[in-house]
Amino acid sequence: MKLLHVIVVLLVTIVAQGQQNEKKILLENATVHIGNGQVIYNGLVGIQNNSIILVQNALAYTYNPNDWDSIIQLNGHHIYPGFVAPNTTLGLTEIDAVRATRDFDEVGTFNPHVRSQIAYNCESAILATVRTNGVLITQAAPRGGIISGTSSVMSTSCWNWEDGTLLADDGIHLNWPSSLKGGEWWSENKVITRNDQYEERKRQITNFFAQAETYQQEDGKAADLKFEAMKACLNGNKRVYFHADELQQLLDIVDFVGAFRLQNAVIIGGYDSYLITEKLKEHHISVMLPRVHSLPEKDDDAVDLVYRLPYLLQQGGVLFCLQNEGDMDAMNVRNLPFLAGTAMAYGLTEEEAVRSITLNACRILGIDHYYGSIEVGKRASLFISTGNALDMRTNNARMILSDGMFLPVTNFQTDLYLKYRKKYGF
Amino acid sequence: MKRLVLAFLLFNVYTLLGQLNTPVNGVAETPANSFVLTNVTILVSPEKTINHGNIIVRDGVIVAVGQQLVLPNDLPIIDGNDRVVLPSFIELFSSLGIPAPANNHDNASPQYLSKKNGPYYWNEAIHPEIDPTALYSIDETAINELHKMGFGAALTHQNDGIFQGTGSLVTLGKNKWKQQLIQPKIAAFYSFEKGISKQEYPSSLMGSIALIRQTLYDADWYKNAQKKSSNYSLDAVNAHQNLPSIFFTNATYEVFRVHALEHEFNRKFTVVGTGHEYELGTPWDSLQQTLIIPINFPAPYDLKDPYIARQVPLADLKHWELAPSNLAYLTQQKVAFSITTNGLKTADEFWKNLHKSFEYGFTPEEALRALTINPSKLIGVDSLLGTIEKGKKACFTLYDVNPFLYQAKVLEVYTNGEREVKISIPDVDIRGKYSLNIDGVKYHLSIAGSQQKPEASVSLIRTINDSITNKSKADTLKTTAFIQLIDNDLTLQFLLKDKKTTQHFALKGVYNARVWIVEGTGTDSIGNWIKWSALRTEKFVGKSDEPVWKTRADQPVPPLYPNMAFGFTAIPKQETLAFENATVWTNESEGIIENATVIVQNGKIKAIQKNTGNYPANTRIIDAKGKHLTSGIIDEHSHIAISKGVNESGQAITAEVRIGDVITADDINVYRQLSGGVTAAQLLHGSANPVGGQSALIKLKWGHMPQDYLIPNAPKFVKFALGENVKQANWGDYNTTRFPQTRMGVEQVYIDGFARALAYHEAQLNYQKLSDREKSKIGKPAIDLELEALYEIVSGNRKITCHSYVQSEINMLMHVADSFGFHVNTFTHILEGYKVADKMKAHGVGASTFADWWAYKFEVKDAIPFNAALMQEMNIVVAINSDDAEMGRRLNQEAAKIVKYGGVSEEEAWKMVTLNPAKLLHLDDRMGSVQVGKDADLVLWTANPLSIEAKVVYTIVDGEVLYDSQLNDEKLAAIELEKARIATLMLDSSVKGDEAKPFKRRKRGQYHCNTLGQEQATGTNEH
C-alpha cells in the first residue's frame, strides 16, 4: 500500500509532529513549484523555525551537508506553497444540514461589524481533510445579507482562532444586488426577468457607503458599530469583496469602486468578467473566479466556459485566483487543487495553475509578503506530494508544513479506513 | 318548386315538434330568427364558396343556401351588400362563463387524504363527475371578444384537476340561456395538473400519470365488479369512456405521454397542444393524434439593452421565429387539428397570428377547416354546426371582407338565427373626390377613411397677391371637415381659416347615391342660409386588393433537435466509424491495448483489430493515434432529463410512479454530460420516501425524442431510500406528520408494504384458480399499481437501488429483504458501506457511491473517501455515481480520486464508472466494455481518461456521434450568429408594430435526491 509506505517514511523522518522546528532542515531533490509561475526541478528548499531560508537549484548550488540538522531526500516529489482557499465557510460550519453547526450567516442586511474570525473552529473535522490535500490557508467568509460581514484569513491548522489568524479582518463581503431576478428557486415554468429593483438596491449601497464616509469625517459622534467597521474599508486598510457575476453588475462595481476610491477591490465570482478584462486591469480590480467545477449559467454558454475562465482572465492580464463557493463549499475545499488542475487542462500552464491557488490568492488577500510562494524569507507553509498535486490520481501528501510545523498527513478518515481494514483482516 | 315548399313545411313541423312549451310572462312573441340574407359571398365550407349568394333562415335554422333561390315573400330580407359570410368558428378549449373553482381547505399540516365528503374518488384531483352546465352564465365581454374572432360556439368546461369533468357546448348568443345550450356533457376533459387540490398526492407529473392509470384501472374493475358500494367518480369515468376526450398539455413532449396512456387503455384523446409541435419531427403517422392547437405566438423580446439581450436563450429566439410555421407544419404532416384561442387575449392577436401563419404556408381553406369542420366533427355536431348548409344552425358571421385575406371587421353575428349588429355600415360608400359648390364658390371635397367612418377634408383654391413681389400666385387653403351620413342625410361642417379669411359652413343635404350627388342648404359664417351641392368627380381608390399577407418566398431556418443551443439540424443517425490506432481501454481480459483499431457499424462494435483497413463501405475514419478510446461512462445515479418533479413525495410508498413516463429531451445537461463522456444513466426517483418510483434506464440520445432515450428491454429498477430524507429530518417543522419520522418507522413501512404485496398477489392467484362461475360471482380483484410494483420487488423481478448512508439502516434493509427471500441489488450513496462491507458481500449487494462527498448532513459524518476502495477490496461491485448534473460530466475525474484514496489501480478505477455500473444495472451484456458485439457507446479522449488533462474528442452512443469537440466549437459560433440573425428579425418586427415584451429567461435548475415537487434546486443540495 502506497499510503502506508508514506506514513512509515514520515514516522522515521519527522522529529515531532506539531512542534515548531528550530533545526535546520533541507529538502533535497524536489520538484519545487515556486508559486510565482516558476518551477525548479531538482530543487533544494531549506527551512528553519517558521521560515524558508534557502531555495536553490541543486545543479547550480553546492552545499555542505554538515550545515543541516536534517536532510530529507524527496526523490523528485513535488513541493508546493500551501494552497489557499479564499471565500469559504470552512471552520464556520460543520454539517451543512444541521443548523446548530452553521455559524456564517448573521441576521441583518448591512453587517460589516460582524466578524468571522472569532467563530472559526480550529478543531473542525473538515479542516483535517482539507490540509491533507494541501490547503493550508483559508479565508473564513461570512454569507448573507448585502454586507455579510468581515472575513479573516486563517490557517487550517491552529490551536485557537488567535494563533490561527494570518490576517485579521481583511475585508468586508458585499453581495452586489442582481440585475436579474428569479434565479434561486424555480418550477419549470418560472423565469428569470430583469430586476426592476436593481437601481433602488444599488442606491441603498451607495447611501450606506456615503453615510459611512461622512461618519468617518466627523468626530465626537456616538459610536456606530457598522460605520466604525467601514472606516478601514474607506481608508484602504480593509478590502471590499464584491460578490457578483453578471456583466451589468460588474460594470457598476467598477464605477462604484472609482466613486469611493476603494483600494484593492476584489470581485468574487465574476462569471462575466472575461468580457471586460481590459477594464478590470485598468482599474486594478482582481477577481476570485467561480468554482471551476460548476455548470455554465446559461444553456447557450459554452459547455466548458467555467473551465476556461481562468485561462481567459490570464490572457486578459487580470489578477485572479480560484475559489470554491457553492454547494458544500466547506467540504469541497479539499478539491481546490483539482479545480486548478481542470484550469490547467483548459488553457493554463501547470505553473500558472499552481499560482492561481497560491501566490495570486495571497496577493489578492494581502498576505503575499509571508505566504503564497516558496521564496527565502517567506513562511514555511508547504505541501509535499509524491506526484502532481493538481491531478486526482497523484495528489498524495508526503509531508505538510504549516509555518514550519510538521502536520500529520492522515486524518480521522484515514483512521476509520485503517480501522475497518483491520476489522476485515487486511 | 312545390317540393321545395313542401320541404320547408315539413321542416317547420319538425322544429315545432322539437320545442318544449315553457311559460311566458306576457303574450307570446314571434322569435326574430327567420330571414333571408341576400347578396353575400358565402364561404360555405373549405371547399365551396358561393358568390352573390342567399341564405334563407327559418326558426334559427338554415333552410336554403344558393345563388339562384326563389326567395320566400313571408320573410324579412337583409341586404348583405356583397359582403362575406363565414360559418361560425367553434372554440373547443374554453372556460367561458364558468367561474374558477376554489379550494377552501385551510391546512395546518400536509394533507395526505381527501377531505371531500360523499361517494367520490379518494383523490381530490379526480372529479370527472363535475358537470359545469349549471354554472354557465353569459359573459358578454368574453363573448364579444370571441365574436370579433369569428366564433359562434364554444365548448366550455372547468379547467381544473386531472379528471376535470365534462364540458358543455353553447352557442355564443347573449339572450336566453336555455337556447344557447346545444349539449351538456358533450366531451370530457383531462390534464396532468392537479389544480386546486391541496392533497399532497400527486406532487409531480409522474405522480399524475400514475394516478390517471390507477383511476382507469379502478374504473375498469368497478365496471365489472359486483357493486358493494357506489362511486360517482368512477361511474363518471366509465360513462365518459366513449365521449370525445380532450387532454390539456402544456409542455412540448407531453403529447407523447398522452399517447402512451391511449395505448395502454385503448382510449382516444384529443390533445391540446403547445404550439411547439413543429419541434417533434415526424411522429404523426404513428401517433394518429387529433390535436387542438393554440396560436398564441410569442411576442418579440425587447432587446434594446445589450446586457439584457444576451440573456435571451437561443431556444426562445428560435421559437419566436418558428411558432408561426406550426400550423403549416401540422397541415403538411396531415394532422387533423382544430385551432383554439386559448392563450390569446385579443381578437387582433388572433387574426394577426392567423395571417402570419398564412405567410408560412398555412392556407385559408385549412384555417376554415380547423376552425369549423374539424372541431364540429370532433365533438359530433357536424350535422348542426361547421358549414353554411341546409339543415344546420344559422350560426354565421358577416364580415366586410374575407377575414382570411384582409384586415376585416365583424359586422354582424348570427347565433341560431338571431342577428346582432356589431358595426352598422351605411349602405352607400360615399368616399371619393367631389366638386363642392357653396353659394357659387367652388371648393374641393375629399372623402376618405373607412366606409363606416368616413373622413373628409375641404380645400379652397384662390389667387393671392404677393406683397413683396407684387405678383399673383395660386394658393390652397385646406382644412378637415366633420362628415356624417345617416341613411341618406349628410351632415358636413368645416372652418377655413387663415390670417385673411374665416369661412365657416354648417351644411345638411340629401345624398342621391344613384347619381352620386348631394344637395341641400346650410348656414355660412355670418348666419346666412345658403344653398350647396356636391358632385362626385372621382371614385375612391382604396387599398389594393392584395391580401394583407404574402406567402414567404424563403423558408425559415428549420428547428434544431432539440430546438435550442447545441441542438442538431436533423435527428442524428448511425454512422459506420473506424477509430484508427487508438489506445483502447477494453475493460476486458485484454486490458489496455495500444494501437488498436475499433470499427463501429449499425450501432454495435463490429471489430477490434491491430491493423488498419478492411472497413465496410462508407466508413468514416477517425485518426485516434495518441488518443484513448473507452466505453462510455454510465452514471448509475442521475436526475437529469426529468420533467416536472423528481420526487413523488405525496405518500411514503410510491412504487407506482415511473421516471420513464416523464423523460424530457431538451435538458442541456444531457449535452453537457455527453461532453464529459457519459453515454448511459439510471434516472432515479428522488429520496423523499422509503419506496420511491421506478427508474428509467436511458442512453443520452441528444437530438432524439424522449421515448428514444429509454434503453429497450432494460431490467426493471425501483428507487428505495433510507435515512434523513425519508424521515423528513431536514424539511422543517411543517413536515412532521407523515409516517415514518424515524428509522424505526422506515423498517415497518417496508414490512407492511411487502406483506400487503404478497397478500395482493395471493388474492390474484386464488382468483385465477376459481371456476368461471365462481369468477363471475366474485369478480376480478382490483389492480393496484403500487402493490403490483411491490410484488415485482418482493418476488425479485424489480431490482432495488437504495439510497442509504448509515450502517444501521443498510443492515436493516438487508435483513428485511432476507426475511422476504429476495436481494437488494444496489445500495447507492452507501457512504458507510465500508463499515458493513462483509455483510453486504454476504447479501450479494452492489454499491454505487460518491468519491469524496461528506459533511453535508449529519448522516454523512462518517463518510470517507476510502469507502469505494475498501468495498472494492471486499469484492463488492463498486460504481462511482454523480447524483449531480455538474459532477456527472466529469465522472472520469471522480474515478481518478479512487486511485488517490485507497490506491485502486487505474483500470479498476475506470471500471467504476463504466463496467461496474453496467453490472449493477444488469446491462453488462451490452455495454460497459469495448467488446465486439456490444453497443457502440464509445468515448475518444485526448489523454488517459483518468488524467486531469483528459478531454473528450467524440462521444458515440449507439453508433451515433452525439458529441464532437470540433463540431461543438462550430455550434458555439453558430449560436451567436443565429441569435444575432433572429435578433435583427425581432427588431424589424418591433419596428413594424409588434409590441416587444421584456426579457425573460427560463432556466432549468437541477434535480437532486431531495428536490420536492416540481421545483428544481439551484440552491443548496442535501442529496
User: Whole-prediction pTM value?
Assistant: 0.91
Q: How confident is the model at residue B423 (pLDDT cuts 50, 70, 90)?
A: confident
* Distance from C-alpha of B325 to C-alpha of B317, rounded to nearest angstrom: 14
Backbone angles phi, psi at B835, to 5 degrees: -80, -25
* Distance from C-alpha of A199 to C-alpha of A203, rounded to nearest angstrom: 6
- Using the beta-carbon criterion (under 8 Å), do A95 and B857 form an inter-chain contact? yes
Q: Which of B998, B1013, B1018 sits opposite A194 (nearest CB)?
A: B998
Q: Which of 873-902 (B) contact A at CB < 8 A? A: 873-874, 885-887, 889-890, 893, 896-897, 899-900, 902
Q: Which has the closest alpha carbon to B945: B972, B968, B912?
A: B912
- Reported as a single tens digit per residue, the pLDDT across B709-750 is 999 999 999 999 999 999 988 887 788 888 899 999 999 999
Angstroms from A426 CA to nearest CA on chain B: 9
Q: What mean pLDDT comes out for the span B138-142?
A: 95
Position B1010 pLDDT exceeds 70: no
Q: In what order do the strands lie in the sheet with B696-699?
A: B633-638, B678-683, B696-699
The pLDDT score that the predictor gives to residue B542 is 64
Query: What is the number of other CB atoms lying within 10 angstroms of the CB of residue A352?
Result: 17
Would you say A24 and A1 are in contact if contact means Cβ atoms under 8 Å apart? no
Backbone angles phi, psi at B601, to 5 degrees: -145, 140
- Using the beta-carbon criterion (under 8 Å), do A97 and B1003 form an inter-chain contact? no
Position B540 pLDDT exceeds 90: no
Which residues in chain A have their CB less than 8 angstroms from residue B1010's CB?
Answer: none
Angstroms from B74 CA to nearest CA on chain A: 60
- Using the beta-carbon criterion (under 8 Å), do B998 and A426 form an inter-chain contact? no
A419-422 contacts, C-beta under 8 A, 24 or more apart: A420/B834, A420/B835, A420/B837, A420/B870, A421/B870, A421/B873
* Distance from C-alpha of B58 to C-alpha of B394, rounded to nearest angstrom: 9
Q: Say whether residue B871 is in contact with chain A using an 8 A CB cutoff.
A: no
The pLDDT score that the predictor gives to residue B869 is 98
Report residue A16 as a C-alpha cell: 515531532
- Reported as a single tens digit per residue, the pLDDT across B55-72 is 999 999 999 999 988 889
What angle separates helix B965-991 from helix B314-322, to the nearest 10 degrees?
A: 50
Q: How confident is the model at residue B663 (pLDDT cuts 50, 70, 90)?
A: very high
The pLDDT score that the predictor gives to residue B719 is 97
The pLDDT score that the predictor gives to residue B2 is 45
What is residue B355's three-state secondary structure? helix
The pLDDT score that the predictor gives to residue B516 is 87
User: Which uninterrupted H or E stretch holds B296?
Assistant: none
Q: How confident is the model at residue B475 (pLDDT cuts 50, 70, 90)?
A: confident
Q: Which has the closest alpha carbon to A272: A287, A257, A284?
A: A287
Angstroms from A193 CA to nearest CA on chain B: 5
Q: Which amino acid is at B908?
A: E
Arithmetic mean of pLDDT over chain B:
91
The pLDDT score that the predictor gives to residue B341 is 97
Grid cell 377547416 is found at B369
Hey, of A94, A303, A390, A421, which one would you mutate to test binding to chain B, going by the most B CBs within 10 A of its CB? A303
> How many degrees, rounded to 5, is the angle at CA A271 between CA A270 and CA A274?
85
Backbone angles phi, psi at B304, to 5 degrees: -65, -40
Q: Which of 19-38 (A) contact B at CB < 8 A? A: none
Would you say A92 and A104 are in contact if contact means Cβ atoms under 8 Å apart? yes
Least reliable range by pLDDT among A11-15, B110-114, B226-230, B464-468: A11-15
The pLDDT score that the predictor gives to residue B500 is 75
Hey, of B311, B733, B831, B977, which one would you mutate to test binding to chain A, going by the most A CBs within 10 A of its CB? B311
Q: Which of A1, A97, A248 sits opposite B307 (nearest CB)?
A: A248
- Reported as a single tens digit per residue, the pLDDT across B801-846 is 999 999 999 999 999 999 999 999 999 999 999 999 999 999 999 9
Least reliable range by pLDDT among B174-178, B299-303, B953-957: B174-178
- pLDDT above 70 as % of chain B: 95
* Distance from C-alpha of B805 to C-alpha of B830, rounded to nearest angstrom: 5
Q: How confident is the model at residue A2 (pLDDT cuts 50, 70, 90)?
A: very low
Q: What mean pLDDT comes out for the span B552-568?
A: 94
Q: Which has the closest alpha carbon to A147: A187, A105, A188?
A: A105
Q: Which distant-in-sequence residues (6+ apart) come within 8 Å of A426 by Cβ? A: B873
Backbone angles phi, psi at B560, to 5 degrees: -100, 160
The pLDDT score that the predictor gives to residue B10 is 42
Query: What is the number of other CB atoms lying within 10 angstroms of the CB of residue A2?
Result: 11
Q: Say whether residue A393 is in contact with chain B using an 8 A CB cutoff.
A: yes
Angstroms from A67 CA to nearest CA on chain B: 36
Position A18 pLDDT exceeds 80: no
Total number of residues shown for chain B: 1023
Q: What mean pLDDT comes out for the span B267-273?
A: 96
The pLDDT score that the predictor gives to residue B196 is 95
Position A275 pLDDT exceeds 80: yes
Q: What mean pLDDT comes out for the span A213-218?
A: 84
The pLDDT score that the predictor gives to residue B225 is 76
- Using the beta-carbon criterion (under 8 Å), do A125 and B855 form an inter-chain contact? yes
Q: Which has the closest alpha carbon to B827: B899, B864, B844?
A: B844
Q: Which has the closest alpha carbon to B537: B389, B431, B387?
A: B431
Which residues in chain B have their CB less than 8 angstroms from residue A420's CB?
Answer: 834-835, 837, 870
Q: Which of 45-64 (B) contact A at CB < 8 A? A: none
DSSP track, B773-805: HHHHHH-PPPP-HHHHHHHHHHTTSSEEEEEE-
Q: What mean pLDDT comes out for the span A98-118?
A: 95
Angstroms from B556 CA to nearest CA on chain A: 21
Q: Which of 317-336 (A) contact B at CB < 8 A? A: 327-328, 330-331, 334-335
Q: How confident is the model at residue B293 (pLDDT cuts 50, 70, 90)?
A: very high
The pLDDT score that the predictor gives to residue A185 is 40
User: Residue by residue, what is the 3-state secondary structure of B601-644?
Assistant: ECCEEEEEECCCCCCCCCEEEEECCCCEEEECEEEEEECCCECC
Angstroms from B976 CA to nearest CA on chain A: 9
- Reported as a single tens digit per residue, the pLDDT across A332-364 is 999 999 999 999 999 999 999 999 999 999 999
* Distance from C-alpha of B190 to C-alpha of B244, rounded to nearest angstrom: 11
Report residue B34 as a C-alpha cell: 327567420
Position B783 pLDDT exceeds 70: yes
Grid cell 494552497 is found at A83
Report residue B951 as a C-alpha cell: 478531454
Hey, of A99, A420, A424, which one would you mutate to test binding to chain B, going by the most B CBs within 10 A of its CB? A420
Query: What is the number of other CB atoms lying within 10 angstroms of the CB of residue B524?
Result: 17
ipTM for this prediction: 0.94
DSSP state of B410: E
Q: Say whether residue A349 is in contact with chain B using an 8 A CB cutoff.
A: no
- Using the beta-carbon criterion (under 8 Å), do B311 and A416 form an inter-chain contact? no
What is residue A339's three-state secondary structure? helix
Q: Which of B307, B999, B1003 sits opposite A247 (nearest CB)?
A: B307
Grid cell 415584451 is found at B997
β-strands A165-175, A147-155 pairing: antiparallel
Q: How far is CA B68 from the centre of its chain?
A: 47
- pLDDT above 90 as % of chain B: 75
Name the residue of chain B whose CA is nearest to A387's CA.
B900
Q: Say whether residue B174 is in contact with chain A using an 8 A CB cutoff.
A: no
Grid cell 477509430 is found at B579
Query: What is the number of other CB atoms lying within 10 angstroms of the CB of residue B62?
Result: 23
Report residue B137 as a C-alpha cell: 352564465
Name the residue of chain B whose CA is nearest to A350's CA.
B949
Q: Which of 185-204 (A) contact B at CB < 8 A? A: 185-194
- Using the beta-carbon criterion (under 8 Å), do B1000 and A191 form an inter-chain contact? yes
Would you say B1022 and B1010 are in contact if contact means Cβ atoms under 8 Å apart? yes
- Reported as a single tens digit per residue, the pLDDT across A162-202 is 999 999 999 999 999 998 887 544 345 457 788 889 999 99
Q: Which of 284-303 (A) contact B at CB < 8 A? A: 293-296, 298-300, 302-303
Which residues in chain A have their CB less than 8 angstroms from residue B313's CB?
Answer: 298-300
Q: What mean pLDDT comes out for the span A313-321?
A: 98
Q: Which has the closest alpha carbon to A93: A147, A141, A129, A159?
A: A141
- Using the beta-carbon criterion (under 8 Å), do A345 and B951 form an inter-chain contact? yes
Residue with the bigger pLDDT between B37 and B540: it is B37
Q: Which of 394-423 (A) contact B at CB < 8 A? A: 394-396, 413-414, 416-417, 420-421
The pLDDT score that the predictor gives to residue B440 is 87
Count interface pairs A-B at CB distance under 8 A: 191
Position B19 pLDDT exceeds 60: no
